[in-house]
Amino acid sequence: MQPRGWQQAWRESVRDPRELLRMLGLEHEAAAVPAEAVAAFALRVPRGFVARMRHGDPADPLLRQVLPRVDELRQVPGFGLDAVGDAAARVARGVLHKYAGRALLVATGSCAVNCRYCFRRHFPYGDESAAAAGWAEAVDAIAADPGITEVILSGGDPLSLATHKLAGLPGRLRGVAPVRRLRIHSRLPVVLPERVDDELLEWLRGLPWPVAVVVHANHANEFDADVDAAMAALRGAGASLLNQAVLLAGVNDSVDALAALCERGYEAGVLPYYLHQLDRVAGTAHFEVGDDRARALHAALVARLPGYLVPRLVREVAGDASKRPL
């Protein structure tokens, strides 16, 4: 499944809101896209993801995740720049240690897609990538704390790094005996399934630890045959697959949408993990779903689905010892 290579597919991503809207037969919506919002956080969408959007539907749940809107320019009290306390959790360049036993590496600042609801729009990635120094600083920080048993590659999106860059990590980390698990948080298998190529699969197969890949899909329509094939290949390489979603107004804030997401993910071999309440980051308030409604949606999911298809509803609260169940 690699006719032209994932990096080329990534380079060919749509970056012009007008082009995106034209592809969907929505050119009349272009005037409503504020240049200021695009300048603050660029539009970026792989073409394969655009192909999963409904033609002619301005309310499409995939489009809503990526199209800049005028709401982003509103200042809303309570929505700030470091919503989840990352600055306080930093222990070395690109290393966040918030929770017992787990170190999170900000592997890179880039992503294949720019999700409008994301905290990343304000994160100072410039000098904060764990991969930048050949992983050395990050691995030193992990080795200095024998309590760390799991390393989480996050970002940005760690799979936006070339495989040869990823490959520098296990070489160093192998010598750190307490580390027993590797986890990769990535939206690429969903938004750019081309990324799951032979080189990546070979790298995964060669890792000395059990690997979990936590993908990120917010709506059932994000899955298609290419995504299914990417998930099957990841599982074939030995990875456990989990999904984390964000509860987003206008995207997945109905019982039907959430149940369909969990069931469709399972068909692709992915178990639900977390359903996150939105991080309260400036420019994202229009995506917020209130806690009471979130709890009601979650209760309805529990009533409808088998237990293993229900994600945990959580919020990240700065200073907490884990994600906080609602």
Candidates 37, 113, 130, 251: give the one binding ligand SF4 (CB under 6 A): 113
One-character DSSP codes across 130-153 = TTTTTTHHHHHHHHT-TT--EEEE
- What contacts 320, CB < 8 A, 6 or more positions away? none
Cα gap 105→156, rounded to integer Å: 10
**157 touches, from ligand SF4, ligand PLP, none (C-beta below 5 to 8 Å by class):** ligand SF4
Which of 200, 305 has the CB closer to ligand SF4?
200
How many Cβ atoms from other residues are within 10 Å of residue 144's Cβ?
11
Q: Name the E strands within the chain.
A: 90-92, 95-99, 102-106, 150-154, 181-185, 211-215, 240-246, 271-276, 312-315, 324-325
Q: Does 107 bind ligand SF4 (CB under 6 A)?
A: no
Cα gap 145→178, rounded to integer Å: 9
Phi, psi of 226 (to 5 degrees): -65, -40
**102 touches, from ligand PLP, ligand SF4, none (C-beta below 5 to 8 Å by class):** ligand PLP
Q: The tokens of 204 are what?
A: 């995964």
DSSP letter at 234 equals: H
Candidates 102, 122, 181, 304: give the one binding ligand PLP (CB under 6 A): 102
Q: How far is the CB of 99 from ligand PLP (least distance, A)?
A: 5
**91 touches, from ligand SF4, ligand PLP, none (C-beta below 5 to 8 Å by class):** none
CB of 228 closer than 8 Å to CB of 268: yes
Q: How far is the CB of 40 from ligand SF4 (least distance, A)?
A: 13
Q: Of the ranges 36-44, 93-101, 186-194, 201-209, which one interacts with ligand PLP (CB under 6 A)? A: 93-101
Number of residues that bind ligand SF4 (CB under 6 A): 11
Which of 156, 170 has the CB closer to ligand SF4?
156
DSSP letter at 80 equals: B
Which of 187, 195 has the CB closer to ligand SF4?
187
Q: How far is the CB of 279 from ligand SF4 (least distance, A)?
A: 10
Candidates 37, 92, 107, 152: give the one binding ligand PLP (CB under 6 A): 152
Q: Work out the angle at residue 272's Cα, subtended by the Cα atoms of residues 303 and 283, and round it to the nearest 5 degrees.
A: 100
Strands 90-92 and 95-99: antiparallel
Q: Of the ranges 72-80, 91-99, 189-197, 226-234, which one interacts with ligand PLP (CB under 6 A)? A: 91-99
Candidates 26, 104, 141, 233: give the one binding ligand PLP (CB under 6 A): 104
**Contacting residues toward ligand PLP, per CB under 6 A:** 89, 96, 98-99, 102, 104, 152, 322-323
**Contacting residues toward ligand SF4, per CB under 6 A:** 111, 113-115, 118, 120, 155-157, 187, 216
